[in-house]
Structure 1
Amino acid sequence: MDQATSRKIQHLYSRAGFGISYSTLAHLSKQSVAKAVKQLFEESDHYHELDLDMDLPAVKGREEMSKEERKDLAKIFRESTRNLNTRWMLMMSTTKAQLREKMTLFWHGHFACRSINPAYNQQLNNILRNNALGNFKDLLIEVAKTPAMLAFLNNQQNKKDQPNENFARELMELFTIGRGNYTEDDVKQAARAFTGWGFRPLTTDFFFRVNQHDFGQKVFMGKTGNFDGTDIIHIILERKETAQFICKKLYKFFVNDQVDTARVNELANFFYSNKYEIGPLMVKMFSSDWFYDDENVGTMIKSPVDFIVSMNRQFYVSYENTNMLMFLQRALGQVLFFPPNVSGWAGGKNWIDSSTLMYRLKIPSVILNNGIIDLPGKIDPDDEAEIAMMKKGPTQLQRKIQATPDWDKFSAELPNKMSKDELIDFILAPNLEKEKKALISDLNGKSLKDIVVQLVSMPEYQLT
């Protein structure tokens, strides 16, 4: 196996996906990085949507429901969203369409949204997945028309006589062009353009309420016209700052927390000139020599979801109780479908704090040894069940992970005479050439499992 090519391909699959098996790595290392990139994209053309049949009850209008009916419905909604969460986690842990799911995870944080309605959550998630490598304009317009986002950002209340600016503001500040590139008057004018954008109650259908739309002339970013919401989006995308804003976020997610402005500008110029086509942009990123520079390899902290999913994939982990996936996410501070706010998860060094570091170092050995761990984590203030459990005291928080790694499958892919040196290179992303000799001498245990468990319990395993 060519070591230089192997290291690049391992880095590619770690960042563009959730890791790579040793057998696949050995096969691709005989080829070129370009072919590995091509394979990632080809595999991501074949994917499945989230299609959880939530079997939701027929929902009446809120005013027609009793207090008990509303409480029961809220419980069903929460359980269905949990099921969506674990279904997506399992999908990421097993799919060959790694790149598409990693991109969906990126857009899930970019278009951060919280909805109590699981049908809305599933619809939005599939829109992100279907457009993950498509055209950003198409993705943006579809997201802007989802009940999940329209409700979350209050555009259902945006009416011509009482404009609500929340949706218009976040569209520019967080989803497209960023702060400093629009004015307060632009927000007001954009809000007028989005009046009437809503959805039919109790459905996932976008609905343009003509009687609530402001058809008057608007002045937005120096242009004048009878603009509607789609026009506003087109004007925003005409500004090159939008391409720079998106490429900066992509760079921080896939390349490095420390932004190289020249590289971002290079990507933004390409993105803009290619009319916001996402797929070609990602090919350019993953094909660039600088993507594989030492300062970009093994230097980023894995997000909690990336951390759990990559471990599931690497060791073929199955869970007797998939609800454990929710507890693991909560303990580490990232729960899918429950972003902390409209800005999403801060990422980077923010993933590590005093309440998560201990769990990060302990969870790998617990999962790989089917052990028990104390998992209070970060309780969601909206989750009544979690709050009730916390009140019962610490003895109620001891949870058996009930995870089963397939050690036979994992070990069968490794060479018969694989050295500890080679195993370290495969398990840990950072380049540890200087420290490797001391590390090898510290690895105790006769079995492969003993050595691997020690490696995944190291701080370096937290890096990608």
Structure 2
Amino acid sequence: MEISNFSKNKHLLSRAGFGINLSQIDSLSQTSPSKIWKQLSKENQLKSLSVGSEDALQDYAVIAKLSPEEKKEKTKINRQENISLNLKFFNEMVNSKDQLREKMAFFWNGHFATRVINSRYNAQLLQIVRENALGNFGDLLKAVSKSPSMLQFLNNQQNKKDHPNENFAREVMELFTLGRGNYTEKDVKEAARAFTGWSFSKEGNFIERARIHDFGEKTFLGKTGNFSGDDILDIILAQKSTAIFITIKIYKFFVNDTLDHKIVAKLANNFYNSKYDIKKLMTEIFTSDWFFDEKNIGAKIKSPIELMAGIFRILPVDNIIQKRQLIIYQNLLGQMIFYPPNVSGWPTGKSWIDSSTLLLRMQMPQLFSGIRPLALQPKADDDIQMGMGAQNNGNRKFRKSNFIIDWQEIESVFKDKNIAEILLQKKISGDGKYMKQFSDGSVKMDIINIMSVPEYQLC
């Protein structure tokens, strides 16, 4: 079956970005995928999303000296700033012309998963992954590894020569580079010794504390020497298994959860030979004929963030950065930016779907449009809600959405068009009963109904 230009472009924009924008709909049929890729891969000036005042939480030594009231106030400030940073990042996913960079930053943010309260540290790490998202993986790995967010989350502040802490060394290999089976427990212990003394100042600057660093000889992955933390990372990067591990994860995220082993092997080999050039790897993926195979189109389940960002790219709203309701939706759907469930990051694929989340996901267009109230209670964990628990405490039913959507503009774009063909990657199966519940024949309701079918969950 021949795949149209329009379908190829939809597929490319949903994988290399967060979906088609309302302004792109009229031009996608006449534009080649290669031209779309050229636009996506164009280098743009990076916008800073920094937050984090001097009043934010500092290091443990400073916190220990604060009164309970002072600690509470600093925690409140951090939560407010984390909400702001969350919404700024989401706003870039929706509105930035630099869709590829933000999609890659979203991927790396999940790959190098951390969960800390300090908003300054979260902002630093986000800026690192956005700056290096399409650069060299080795540079990205080293910058992330030296960030206060990562060092604090994986306890390297407690990694000292007399009492090595193995958390950071283990996760660097297991989750960020080599993958299980490509190192030994002895390698973990030796790497931990090399990372002793890696720390950061209260200002968030990386420092090496020579007094607690183990300067002794180490043997790691078959090599022996007086290795530093940087030496360990260089040895890891020299392993081809690192290129394979990263390529597999990128393929599953951007192409298909089911691996084509022959293609992945070629991609990994080229990635390794390019000395870990991320943009070159993504270019090879997104410009290959196999990327547009029918088996790869509509084959992935959108994550909650991808789902919401995609809806708002079609249904643009004013000043989305102020819409704190989005924090509640992230919580309910299980993907809170800057709050992954653990160091492994968020799950993928069918893990996003269960009996409760599927119904809510299918109701999102109705909720955002204000034709259905949100009648679910967020989880009681106030830490997850970033401090929003108090204002929602006791609410059985939230108010209708206050998102302001320009339906007149949207209807003018969709008028006399096949709405399902534009919005869906897969044809609707069955009798399409979900499309009928709010039907009144208008373009607005047709868009909402089509966005509410199960097939809209796929990208």
Per the normalisation by structure 1, the TM-score is: 0.92
Q: Work out the CA distance in 1 between the residues paired with 2:223 and 2:324.
A: 51
Q: Work out the CA distance in 2 between the residues paired with 1:320 and 1:35.
A: 30
Kept after mapping to 1: 8 A contact 2:57/2:118: no
1:292 aligned onto 2:292: yes
SS at match of 2:356: coil
Kept after mapping to 2: 8 A contact 1:16/1:254: yes
Q: Work out the CA distance in 1 between the residues paired with 2:141 and 2:276.
A: 11
Displacement of 1:267: 1.1
Q: Work out the CA distance in 2 between the residues paired with 1:53 and 1:67.
A: 21
Amino acid paired to 1:188: K
Kept after mapping to 1: 8 A contact 2:57/2:63: no
Displacement of 1:289: 1.2
1:389-441 CA distance string (max 9 Å, x none):
67x5452x423321122222223334x532xxx22110111145x87999999
Kindly tell me: are residues 212 and 109 of structure 1, through their superposed partners in 2, closer, same or farther at Cα, counting changes over 3 Å? same
1:356-392 CA distance string (max 9 Å, x none):
11211112112123642123244546358555567x5
Kept after mapping to 1: 8 A contact 2:194/2:214: yes
Displacement of 1:21: 3.0
Matches within 5 A, 1:197-276: 197-200=198-201, 202-276=202-276
Q: Work out the CA distance in 2 between the residues paired with 1:61 and 1:443.
A: 56
- Aligned position for 2:441: 446
Kindly tell me: are residues 311 and 372 of structure 1, through their superposed partners in 2, closer, same or farther at Cα, counting changes over 3 Å? same
Kept after mapping to 2: 8 A contact 1:195/1:213: yes
Match of 2:450 among 451, 455, 460: 455
Kindly tell me: are residues 167 and 442 of structure 1, through their superposed partners in 2, closer, same or farther at Cα, counting changes over 3 Å? closer
- Aligned position for 1:348: 349
Kindly tell me: are residues 104 and 437 of structure 1, through their superposed partners in 2, closer, same or farther at Cα, counting changes over 3 Å? closer
Kindly tell me: are residues 159 and 11 of structure 1, through their superposed partners in 2, closer, same or farther at Cα, counting changes over 3 Å? same
Kept after mapping to 2: 8 A contact 1:121/1:148: yes
Kept after mapping to 2: 8 A contact 1:6/1:26: no
Kindly tell me: are residues 85 and 135 of structure 1, through their superposed partners in 2, closer, same or farther at Cα, counting changes over 3 Å? same
Structure 1: any 5+ residue segments left out of the alignment? none
SS at match of 1:65: coil
Q: Work out the CA distance in 1 between the residues paired with 2:301 and 2:222.
A: 42
- Aligned position for 2:97: 96
Match of 1:427 among 397, 418, 423: 423
- Aligned position for 2:11: 11
Q: Work out the CA distance in 2 between the residues paired with 1:57 and 1:291.
A: 45
Kept after mapping to 2: 8 A contact 1:379/1:386: no
1:36 aligned onto 2:36: yes
Kindly tell me: are residues 259 and 377 of structure 1, through their superposed partners in 2, closer, same or farther at Cα, counting changes over 3 Å? farther
Matches within 5 A, 1:387-426: 392-393=393-394, 395=396, 397-414=397-414, 416-418=415-417, 422-426=418-422
Amino acid paired to 1:105: F
Q: Work out the CA distance in 1 between the residues paired with 2:11 and 2:248.
A: 20
Kindly tell me: are residues 39 and 377 of structure 1, through their superposed partners in 2, closer, same or farther at Cα, counting changes over 3 Å? same
- Aligned position for 1:373: 374
Range with bigger deviation, 179-188 or 285-294: 285-294
Range with bigger deviation, 137-146 or 91-100: 91-100
SS at match of 2:207: strand
Q: Work out the CA distance in 2 between the residues paired with 1:377 and 1:155.
A: 33
Kept after mapping to 1: 8 A contact 2:56/2:118: no
Kindly tell me: are residues 21 and 84 of structure 1, through their superposed partners in 2, closer, same or farther at Cα, counting changes over 3 Å? closer
Displacement of 1:445: 2.5
Amino acid paired to 2:29: S
Amino acid paired to 2:338: F
Kindly tell me: are residues 443 and 9 of structure 1, through their superposed partners in 2, closer, same or farther at Cα, counting changes over 3 Å? farther
Q: Work out the CA distance in 1 between the residues paired with 2:41 and 2:50.
A: 23
Structure 2: any 5+ residue segments left out of the alignment? none
Range with bigger deviation, 182-191 or 89-98: 89-98
1:113 aligned onto 2:108: no
Q: Work out the CA distance in 2 between the residues paired with 1:73 and 1:23.
A: 42
Aligned residues, how many?
Answer: 454
Q: Work out the CA distance in 1 between the residues paired with 2:267 and 2:57.
A: 48
Kept after mapping to 1: 8 A contact 2:218/2:225: yes
Kept after mapping to 2: 8 A contact 1:327/1:375: no
Q: Work out the CA distance in 2 between the residues paired with 1:296 and 1:75.
A: 44
Kept after mapping to 1: 8 A contact 2:297/2:425: yes
Kept after mapping to 2: 8 A contact 1:154/1:167: yes
- Aligned position for 2:179: 178
1:46 aligned onto 2:41: no
Q: Work out the CA distance in 2 between the residues paired with 1:376 and 1:427.
A: 30
1:61 aligned onto 2:62: yes
Q: Work out the CA distance in 2 between the residues paired with 1:383 and 1:298.
A: 31
Displacement of 1:137: 0.1
Range with bigger deviation, 165-174 or 423-432: 423-432
Displacement of 1:110: 0.2
Displacement of 1:51: 2.5
SS at match of 2:265: helix
Per the normalisation by structure 2, the TM-score is: 0.93
Kindly tell me: are residues 71 and 437 of structure 1, through their superposed partners in 2, closer, same or farther at Cα, counting changes over 3 Å? closer
Q: Which runs of structure 1 show a deviation greater than 6 angstroms over 4 or more consecutive aligned residues?
A: 434-443
Range with bigger deviation, 9-18 or 80-89: 80-89
Q: Work out the CA distance in 1 between the residues paired with 2:433 and 2:110.
A: 39
Kept after mapping to 2: 8 A contact 1:355/1:377: no
Kept after mapping to 2: 8 A contact 1:135/1:278: yes
1:332 aligned onto 2:328: no
Kept after mapping to 2: 8 A contact 1:370/1:402: no
1:166 aligned onto 2:161: no
Amino acid paired to 1:52: V
1:155-202 CA distance string (max 9 Å, x none):
1111111111000000000000100000000000000111111001x2
Kindly tell me: are residues 23 and 237 of structure 1, through their superposed partners in 2, closer, same or farther at Cα, counting changes over 3 Å? same
Kept after mapping to 1: 8 A contact 2:51/2:120: no
SS at match of 2:49: coil
CA RMSD of superposed structures (Å): 2.4
Kept after mapping to 1: 8 A contact 2:157/2:197: yes
